[in-house]
Amino acid sequence: MPYLDLAKLRTLDPTSYQSQDPYPHVRARGLLYEDAYRRLVANPPPLELFEQSTGKKRAHGQTPHDRLALEYREELPLPAPWAEFVDELRAGPYAEAMCRLIGVRALALRFHWHWATRGNSVSPHCDAIHKYGSHVFYLNTEEDWKPEWGGETLVLDDGGRFRRNSAPAFEDFDRVIPADAGPNQSLVFTRRGDSWHGVREIRCPEGYWRKVFIVVLEKAGWRGRLARLV
């Protein structure tokens, strides 16, 4: 069964996307077919595959991004829906659509899952230079997440004031544009020097998780170039 609604993805207008302020981004609902979305949510990767990421020092004095994290690799024993979905993303049409949207000729894809719970947060930051951008798929349902618990990615407007190698707080930004973290919502954004974003501290009860799957849109070939430098 198909997971991604490619027709809907292709309706996202590159001109409108590129002209968004403070940097290119788009919030979209229903890029996954509803029954496919429900299959993915009902069959998450096993919790034992995730690694605890807590208190890890970040560059530039930014506070740690605490969460459970799982990086995709070929040998992962993923549930069938997730293995099928990743295969579909890697097949070609998805990357072609994303190249058209963000305005590049080629890109590489990397995948990871982040589960975050009460007290976790993602401090304001700009992504690494090897990224073109990210596509965040929100995986919670009405039954396991409430809007007042937070969890939405925040697009942050610094008015051009902050250096990328700094550590501003959420309160320091001129404007905060929240994505919708509801069911079958997603956010695409392009990495630039001023592409600040983050997630405020999660306010859910104990035992609940903010769940996202992230497709990292990377510069093609950067891993090979890095390997030759090491």
Q: Dump pLDDT digits (tens) for 160-172.
A: 898 887 889 999 9
Q: What is the pLDDT of residues 18-57, one digit of tens each?
A: 999 999 999 999 999 999 999 999 999 999 999 987 655 5
Kindly compute the dihedral angle of the four CA atoms of residues 144, 147, 149, 153, in this order, to the nearest 10 degrees.
Answer: 110
Please name each of the domains of the chain with its CATH number.
6-229 (2.60.120.620)
Positions of E strands within the chain: 25-29, 51-53, 67-71, 108-116, 122-125, 131-138, 154-157, 175-178, 185-190, 197-199, 210-218
Residue-level pLDDT at 193: 82
* Helix/strand/coil for 22: coil
Which regions of the chain are under pLDDT 70?
54-65, 222-230
Instruction: Compute the distance between CA of residue 159 and CA of residue 173 in angstroms, rounded to an integer.
Output: 8
* pLDDT at site 224: 45
Q: Is 60 helix (H, G, I), strand (E, B) or coil?
A: helix
Q: What is the pTM of this model?
A: 0.92
Q: Alpha-carbon distance 40 to 7, whole Å?
A: 20
Residue 205's identity, in one-letter code, is P
